[in-house]
Amino acid sequence: MKLKTHKALSKRITITKTGKMMKRYGGQDHFNSRDTGNAGRKKRTDNQLSSTHAKAVKTLIPNT
């Protein structure tokens, strides 16, 4: 039987050319002006998934 991709997860995670799994920080929609400067800058960058989470994601996103 063919494995199906978990679409919600595939929209939240990007896989780089070298195979790293990157995700965006949450809470970027509104109420950002009350964040401290460090928190605001942290939200602008992508975050690499840990190896434990990456292993779990690979089961939900086959053929990556």
- Give the per-residue pLDDT at 63: 82
CATH hierarchy code of domain 7-60: 4.10.410
Specify the 3-state DSSP secondary structure of 48. strand
**Mean local confidence (pLDDT), 16-38:** 93
The predicted model scores a pTM of 0.77
Tokens matching residue 18: 């070298």
Tokens matching residue 32: 């950002």
For the chain, the domains span 7-60
- Give the per-residue pLDDT at 34: 94
CA nearest neighbour of 9 among 52, 58, 45, 63: 58
Q: How far apart are CA 37 and CA 29, in angstroms?
A: 16
User: Is residue 6's pLDDT more than 80?
Assistant: yes
**Mean local confidence (pLDDT), 26-44:** 92
Confidence of residue 35 (pLDDT cuts 50, 70, 90): very high
